[in-house]
Amino acid sequence: MSQPACVLLLSGKRKSGKDFIADRLQCRIGPEVCQILRLSGPLKEQYALDNGLDYQQLLDSTTYKEMYRAKMIAWGEEKRSADPGFFCRKTIELAQPDRNIWIISDARRKTDLAFFSENYQKVLRTIRMTCSDDVRKQRGFIFTQGIDDAESECGLDECVTWDIVISNDGDEALLDMDIDHVVRLVQFMYEQNKST
């Protein structure tokens, strides 16, 4: 398995902008060295296979994904309680060896954090996206019982010390500064770790 020079682990509430920021970071760092890995990818793929669903549609930010979210969460919890690192391992198996900066765009649980801390401690930087409920609502968030009060949405809300906090409340200038900071950090880590 390939060894990354840097792992950015992104976390945030629904519609806080995890995918948006992951894309921006990847663009700035360079897609030739940086890849986005989604912990929800293998979960959705397996769930789609088992239930005759369209995997591609489950990946997109569409109503299709929202229709199956609650059932997928329940199914994922079952798998995870048997093996907490199951989806993390499946995800990193998909990493391309020639791009050794990883952005894990959707950490949701303490077990996700524990897995990456245990396996990639030296190169791991954790990032929490913050965003007001009002802005999240403008981006399509609707509170859904059973989803937004479940562990998958609240598991990392408290008792976690993040390396970096990015505010994605709509202030573009502030966001640019935060992204610049992360890009510089990644470039530094890449130089330090690329040949180790």
- Binding-site residues from annotation: 13-19, 139, 168
Residue with tokens 């992104």: 10
The H-or-E segment that residue 58 falls in is helix 55-59
* Segment near ligand ATP (CB under 6 A); pick from 12-20, 75-83, 95-103, 116-124: 12-20
- Binding of residue 12 to ligand ATP (CB under 6 A): yes
41-61 burial string, b = 16+ CB within 10 Å, else e? bbbbbbbbeeeebeeeebbee
Count of CB atoms situated within 10 Å of the CB of 36? 19
Q: Does 18 bind ligand ATP (CB under 6 A)?
A: yes
Bridge partners of 130, per DSSP, are 167
Interface pick for ligand ATP out of 4, 7, 9, 15 (rule CB under 6 A): 15
Stretch that binds ligand ATP, among 7-15, 41-49, 85-93, 109-117 (CB under 6 A): 7-15
| Number of residues lying near ligand ATP (CB under 6 A) | 12
Site map 129..168 versus ligand ATP, x via CB under 6 A: ----------x----------------------------x
Query: Least Å distance between CB 8 and ligand ATP?
Result: 14
Q: Write down the least CB distance from residue 53 to ligand ATP, Å.
A: 17
Among 7, 14, 37, 182, binds ligand ATP (CB under 6 A): 14
Q: How far is CA 68 from CA 33, 139, 183, in A?
A: 33, 20, 35
Among 61, 62, 81, 192, binds ligand ATP (CB under 6 A): 61
- For the bound state, the minimum distance from the C-beta of residue 70 to ligand ATP, rounded and expressed in Å, comes to 13
Nearer to ligand ATP by Cβ, of 118 and 174: the residue is: 174
Alpha-carbon distances, residue 129 vs 16, 74, 93, 190 (angstroms): 6, 25, 26, 23
Do residues 111 and 166 lie in contact, with contact meaning Cβ atoms separated by under 8 Å?
no
Identify the bridge partners of residue 11 per DSSP, sorted by sequence position.
107, 128
Q: Read off the amino acid at residue 142.
A: I
Give the pairing of strands 6-11 and 101-107. Answer: parallel
Interacting residues with ligand ATP (CB under 6 A) = 12, 14-20, 61, 139, 168, 175
